Amino acid sequence: MSGFVRPSVQLCVPRTSRSLSPVPPRNGSSALTRTASDRCYLQRSNSSAVGHPKTIALAPTLTPSQVFSIRRSWKHINTKGLTNVIRGCFQKLESGNSSVSKIFRSRPTLQISTSNVQNIIEHTKFMLALLDRIVEGENGLDFELRKIGAAHVKLHDEYGMGTRELELFGEIMADAFSKLDGVRQSKETSKAWRILIASIIDNVRVGFDTELRTPFHAIS
């Protein structure tokens, strides 16, 4: 999902207005399956979080114990079909929102960093790499997330996408992560992930809103 913007989307508190659940595994089991794309896009070392800062720059309100819980669970879950989980989040958003469905069918190109991101597969790859950098504690990602939000204003102009879709994706993602092995066993770990995901979405939303309020869009 440096400066910190207090999340206005309270994903740490489950919503009761709608049910958000991840796409179930094919075999009906709660276990996730290792995929080749996981190994390709998430080359993880076997080292623990020792040596890393005890903070995650994007979410400075996380306690050291919450940061440790996130990194420990990330090391566990990212080798167990996380590609399928993230892809399932985008698919759930697409199936439940007409604006997003039109966007993925039309496949408009968004220039984000050095990558052109169009379909669900490309969004999934991009999100996995971004999450890895966030969990590692990389600085300056709040600015990058706001640029991502600004880039999505193009979809507001052409397809009517707004902050509602961004927030809905955050809810879907937070709910999916809370059900993963390595996360769901601990309320503290689940809460930590919800806080982190809320920070990601909030920064994207700020970039989106800021770009939308520029004079160009105000007069268009």
Q: What is the pLDDT along the chain (220 residues), one digit of tens a residue?
A: 444 444 444 444 334 333 334 444 444 444 444 444 444 444 444 333 333 678 999 999 999 999 999 999 998 887 668 899 999 999 999 898 888 888 888 865 555 554 566 788 889 999 999 999 999 999 999 999 999 999 898 888 888 888 999 999 999 999 999 999 889 999 999 999 999 999 999 999 999 999 988 877 654 4
Tokens linked to 159: 């397809």
Q: In whole angstroms, what is the distance from residue 80 CA to residue 1 CA?
A: 22
Please give the model's pTM, rounded to 2 decimal places.
0.72
Strands 110-112 and 115-117 come out as antiparallel
At CA 207, angle to CA 206 and CA 212, rounded to 5?
Answer: 100
Q: In whole angstroms, what is the distance from residue 9 CA to residue 16 CA?
A: 15
Tokens linked to 172: 């879907």
